[in-house]
Amino acid sequence: AQTVTQSQPEMSVQEAETVTLSCTYDTSESNYYLFWYKQPPSRQMILVIRQEAYKQQNATENRFSVNFQKAAKSFSLKISDSQLGDTAMYFCAFMKPTTQGGSEKLVFGKGTKLTVNP
Amino acid sequence: DTGVSQDPRHKITKRGQNVTFRCDPISEHNRLYWYRQTLGQGPEFLTYFQNEAQLEKSRLLSDRFSAERPKGSFSTLEIQRTEQGDSAMYLCASSLEGGYTEAFFGQGTRLTVV
């Protein structure tokens, strides 16, 4: 079974600064997806960024980028130029792709609560 | 379409009562998932529907839990004889079929069993 570990329960950063959230995972699969989801207070979870394991290039989405180290099974999220609206719970998640019709359930870590201070 | 909708947003019930939650996925999405999120934890998978067929259930889904998705549209999750340990946020997500497609989450139903 796959497991996802987020070792930082809480983090804080000053507005406009850069912060990195850590995530490690354990799997015997060679093909999989990794995700970072954001869950703002009292709002639904939204996808921030995703990475396909077969791609060596790290994914980027505007101010968000990842450092994917497949051999080390590490998948960290870097948020540049932090904004007050980035305050949220951030969850790292793993997904094993299946054949058509199969479940592609997500396995989540426990999350990191990020606070951006003005 | 306004996204995945869940109802109610909050539910307080007495131990031993039955509760039912509803999820309306994005209309063209044929995959539907239920997750449970307890305080301080990430969401945990409960069950998965492909259209109206329930194709996977977690061992977390005890026999007091039942989920349905009649006609492959909305889904319901019922908990019978609720226990205090059932207190959690219940999240619904939907996605399209066909290889990886992004899962969209609802705002969840927060259940408190007193």
Cis peptide before A118 (omega within 30 of 0): no
Q: Is the pLDDT of residue B99 over 80?
A: no
Exposed, middle or buried: residue A28 (CB in 10 Å: 0-12, 13-18, 19+)? Answer: exposed
Of A42, A100, A108, which is closest to B98 when you measure between CB atoms?
Answer: A100
How many residues can be counted in chain B? 114
Give the pLDDT score at A1.
Answer: 82
Give the pLDDT score at A100.
Answer: 66
Closest residue of chain B to A108, computed from CA coordinates: B42
Give the pLDDT score at B36.
Answer: 97
A35: confidence class by pLDDT, cuts 50, 70, 90? very high
Report yes or no: A83 and A15 within 8 Å, Cβ to Cβ. Answer: yes
Q: Do B106 and A44 touch (CB under 8 A)?
A: yes
Give the pLDDT score at A97.
Answer: 82
Q: Which of residues 40-99 of B touch A (CB under 8 A)?
A: 40-45, 48, 50, 55-56, 91, 95, 97-99
Give the pLDDT score at A101.
Answer: 63
Q: Is the pLDDT of residue A43 over 80?
A: yes
Q: Which of A107-111, B3-7, B95-99 has the lowest mean pLDDT?
A: B95-99
Q: Give me the percent of chain A exceeding a pLDDT of 90.
A: 85
Give the integer Cα–Cα distance in Å for A64 and A76.
10
